Amino acid sequence: MRLLHVQDYIVFLIYFLIVAFYGWWVYNRKKAARTSSKDYFLAEGSLTWWAIGASLIASNISAEQMIGMSGSGFKLGVAIGTYEWMAAATLLIVAIFFIPVYLKNKIYTMPQFLSERYNDKVAMIMAIFWLVLYIVVNLMSILYLGALAVSGISGINIYWCIVGLAVFAIVITLGGMKVIGYTDVIQVFFLVLGGLVATYIALNLVAEKSGQTGILNGFKVLTTNTKDHFHMIFNKDNPNYVSLPGLTVLIGGMWITNLNYWGCNQYITQRALGADLKTARSGILFAAFLKLLMPVIVVLPGIAAYSLYQGGMFHTQMLDSHNVVDVNKAYPNLLNLLPAGLKGLAFAALTAAIVASLAGKANSIATIFTLDIYKKAINKNADEKRLVGMGKVTVVISMILAILMSLVIGEKLMGEGKQGFNYIQEYTGFVSPGIFAMFLLGFFWKRTTSNAALFATIGGFVLSCVLKFLPMWVNLSWLTPYGFYQPNYDNKGIYEIPFLDRMGIVFVFCIVGMAIINFVENRRGVINKGLEVNAGMFRVTKSFAIGAITICAILTALYTIFW
């Protein structure tokens, strides 16, 4: 294995020092903020629009994209980029309709929203639910996939990589949201620059292998030699249909996973909840434009790696310990081809993506536990200093748990050739339809009751589990012609209901069930307190409207070209 050169270590050291010293400078600018819980967890009033937008992307783009999505690009092609491009459209919806409701009602955490809209019981159940999800699925997967990539590039033992990334993230997280937000600007700079360099080199290499030069020729070679990797919408006979089931990515479950992630997720919305409406919307719009660029950085390298693999490269390096092709190794193997210095830049970009996402997730875990569990149920009289201290302790404990799970079950869940990105999306999808239904009706139907919300949360999760395992108990072959019953080759070819379709079915079930419960309870006089919502909250500025229309036009063109 080719290790990093001296030049690479120098580039990486420069990156590390810039982030460390800038974070320290931000931390010391306002010493009083160290003991203010709102400033520590939310950076209230401190983040500019460009810091919010950069932090959204830095927190979102992590090992699951750089490694997991590149691996899915290796296997599925440009279609996996629908998660990124649909996210751009979703961010517009969140900026127009969701953020004004949060800010107008002074919502700082998602459990707080549930408490004010429904009751403390719903809020506490969901706070615990989110903590488990964030640690078991998100934090652990980011840490494992990130360490897998860092180990593949540097040659350092994966276990040391897990610990090193966790410690780096802890140091940044302990500085609070302001440090995270502003250092994320640097992280995004390295992420985008390093990612574009990796894509440039990959396309050049593809061109050279075909006797040509230049990235445009490389892209032409890709679209010719790997034509099957440049379709956004899969037909039912596509072996990868179960991962991205046809038009579901445009009109079905893809909207649910994105709207829940970007609009009902503490990890994401936290970046904008400490700002005014104009600043928050501008930051989200900036993030939407950056989202359009992400498939170029994370998907194209995966397709390039597939093309090179088909041409005879990486055949040994792509195998895991069981001699199975591990798609998660596509991006690390591609980076190993970069020349000295540039490899260090790409390595820094990868590390920036991992660390920024770990820091953001850990901060959200600390925010929910401290403000929604510790302060409300354990120590109601805790002062600001105690809350900040508890937040820091929570960061360390959550990261230790993620380390232990990465070491024990990381390979079993995301190794052996499995698509790490799909693992994250599917298991998050067990709860996202119910959560999104609960938030959506909570926003816009004032007569929605707490029992209806509990039904969506618990009932949605139970139905998701039933639909996941139903094909093992009942013969559903009659659904195959309709695409609702397909072989999952990531799971030994077992026939399943595609998880994006499951999410759509569960979401409709939750909405209908909530509506019935609402009507019954409303007739009995049970009505919960609604939020302050009026049409004027959703008006946007002319500049935002122009930006939103531009994004929609670009998305229309992309889906038309790669249909």
**CATH of the domain spanning 6-229+255-418, picked from 1.20.58.340, 1.10.10.10, 1.10.260.40, 1.20.1730.10:** 1.20.1730.10
Number of alpha carbons in the 13 Å side-chain half-sphere of residue 401:
17
Which residues, in sequence order, are bridge partners of residue 108? Answer: none
Rounded Cα distance, 207 and 216, in Å: 8
DSSP per residue over 490-547, as a string? GGTTEEE--HHHHHHHHHHHHHHHHHHHHHHHHHTT--PPPP---GGGG---HHHHHH
Q: For residues 189 and 446, give the distance between their C-alpha atoms in angstroms, rounded to a whole number.
A: 43
In terms of Cβ atoms closer than 10 Å to its own Cβ (0-12, 13-18, 19+), residue 284 is buried
Which residues contact residue 418 at a Cβ distance below 8 angstroms, ignoring those fewer than 6 apart? Answer: 328, 490
Cβ neighbours around 546 below 10 Å, total:
12
- d(CA 1, CA 74) in angstroms, rounded, equals 21
> What pLDDT does residue 159 have?
86
In whole angstroms, what is the distance from residue 32 CA to residue 385 CA?
11
Q: What is the full per-residue pLDDT of the chain (563 aa) written as tens digits? A: 456 788 888 888 887 788 777 777 776 765 544 555 566 655 555 678 887 887 788 777 766 677 778 888 888 889 888 989 999 999 999 999 988 888 888 887 788 888 888 888 888 888 888 888 888 877 888 888 788 778 877 778 888 888 888 888 887 777 666 666 666 677 677 777 777 887 888 888 888 888 888 888 888 888 888 888 888 888 888 878 877 888 888 888 889 988 988 888 776 777 677 778 898 899 999 999 989 988 888 888 889 888 888 877 776 776 656 666 777 777 777 777 777 777 787 777 777 778 777 887 888 888 888 888 888 888 888 887 888 888 888 889 998 998 888 887 766 665 544 555 666 777 778 888 999 999 999 888 888 898 999 999 899 999 988 888 877 777 766 666 666 666 665 656 677 788 888 889 999 999 999 999 999 988 887 666 767 777 788 888 999 999 999 999 999 999 898 88
* DSSP one-letter code for 486: E
List the domain boundaries for the chain.
6-229+255-418
Nearest C-alpha neighbor of 235 from the set 218, 249, 215, 220: 249
Q: Which pLDDT does position 513 carry in this prediction?
A: 95
Closest by Cα among 197, 168, 196, 136 to 352: 168
Give the per-residue pLDDT at 32.
47
Distance, CA of 18 to chain centre? 25
